[in-house]
Amino acid sequence: MISRLLTTDTYPPIVAPDLHAVRILVVGDVMLDRYWFGDVSRISPEAPVPIVRIEKREERLGGAANVARNAAALGAHCGLLGVVGNDEAGTQVEQLLRDSSIHSYLQRDEAISTIIKLRVIGRQQQLLRIDFEDAPTDTVLRDKLTQFNALLPDYDVIILSDYNKGSLVNVSHMIEAGRAAGKIVMVDPKGDDFSPYKGATVLTPNKSELRRIVGSWSSEEQLTAKAQGLRETLGLDALLLTRSEEGMSLYTATEILHMHADAREVYDVSGAGDTVIATMASMLGAGMPMADAIMTANRAGGIVVGKLGTATVTRAELFGS
């Protein structure tokens, strides 16, 4: 088996592909990210905590919606299938999708509230995060699976963005249907059991997610054996391990590709995995070779961690045009 280290110094320049014809369907846990920014000048007399005087508020697409936002920012045609509540936050998600030119297939669940992550930022540092979340009802999930099967012929690449919030209980059926239809099916996994992701094209765990499944490792050789064993067990074409400051490693049946992290100042890692999988999916959808797609995704991840909160990378930032 071939093992290669890919670097920007030794790898030939990657030509920017035309992404307008690439059609990506993102399915998963949809969230609304809310940011409250303020000034911190004193400690509360009631408890030893800072008082934040809120001066600005922002709302952004989160979870699977941030994956879709990243793909759309690169120029791909993107649709989002998920569940939100029949509430103000769900309406805001719909508006943000329209603003980002993402086709919405969201279903409203009367029984739940839209998932919200509220972050309080003081002096450019996250001080607190408050989560509001409910799992979708069985009836809405059945309707979602039916809609997924109906949408499948219209898209080339499927991204299943699992945040373990209950929207992807039918993920194994979606993977099976997608692969049977000849689609590229990529999964960002969560949880203690990866068996529902069996048969996907590419799985993209980070180090902590992989460690929960295969256990710890003490050497690169041991990591390779565990990663390849999991890839073979799940019948994956490839397993992409995102390794934070260590970069990325791609494991396939024929080779192992390692990439150092694109050296940048790390400001915020929120949503970096969303950017990586969205970029890789866009490049593969455009017919880019796997190695080129990984190098491009690695570069995108390096750019987005230099931005605050869930953010996107533009085509110009990636390719300079």
Q: How far apart, in whole angstroms, are the C-alpha atoms of residue 123 and residue 125?
A: 5
In this predicted structure, what is the pLDDT of residue 74? 94
3-state SS class at 289? coil
Q: What percent of the chain has pLDDT over 90?
A: 78
Q: Does residue 22 have a pLDDT over 80?
A: yes
pLDDT of residue 313: 86
The whole-angstrom distance between residue 226's C-alpha and the CA centroid of its chain comes to 23
Q: Which residues pair with 131 in a beta bridge?
A: 117
> Residue 262 pLDDT more than 80?
no
pLDDT at 174 over 80: yes
Of 13 and 220, which is predicted with more confidence?
A: 220
The pLDDT value recorded for residue 171 is: 97
> Known catalytic residue: 188?
no
- Quote the pLDDT of residue 226: 97
**What single-letter amino acid sits at 137?**
T
* Domains of the chain from N-terminus onward: 2-31+60-113+136-319 (3.40.1190.20)
Sheet holding 23-28, edge to edge: 2-6, 255-259, 248-252, 238-242, 202-203, 184-188, 157-161, 23-28, 77-81, 103-104
- The answer to whether the CB of 296 falls within 8 A of the CB of 16 is no
Q: Annotated catalytic residue: which of 29, 268, 274, 292?
A: 274
Distance of CA 232 to the CA centre of its chain: 23
Q: Is the pLDDT of residue 265 over 60?
A: no
- pLDDT confidence of residue 3: 84
For position 309, what pLDDT does the model report?
66
State residue 321's pLDDT score.
Answer: 61
Q: Provide the pLDDT for residue 305.
A: 79
pLDDT of residue 316: 83
Is the predicted pLDDT of residue 9 greater than 70, yes or no? no
Q: How many CB atoms lie within 10 A of CB 190?
A: 19
Q: What is the mean pLDDT of residues 227-232?
A: 98
pLDDT in tens, 57-83: 999 999 999 999 999 999 999 999 999
The pLDDT of residue 318 is 83
Mean pLDDT of 157-186: 97
- Which pLDDT score, from 0 to 100, does residue 269 have? 57
Query: CA-CA distance, 284 to 19, in Å (whole number)?
Result: 10
- For strands 103-104 and 77-81, give the pairing: parallel
For residue 264, name the pLDDT band (cuts at 50, 70, 90). Answer: low
What's the mean pLDDT when you consider all of the chain?
A: 92
Describe the crossing of helices 171-180 and 138-151 by its angle, rounded to 10 degrees.
10
Residue 211 CB contacts under 8 Å (≥ 6 apart), including other chains: 217
Q: What DSSP line would sit under 256-283, residue for residue?
A: EEEE----------TTHHHHHHHHHHHH
> Cα angle vertex 145, ends 310, 188, to 5°?
35
pLDDT at residue 130 tops 80:
yes
Strand 83-85 with 115-122, pairing: unpaired
Residue 1 has pLDDT above 80, yes or no: no
Confidence of residue 263 (pLDDT cuts 50, 70, 90): low
Average pLDDT score over residue span 164-186: 97
The pLDDT of residue 102 is 98
CA distance 302 to 191: 25
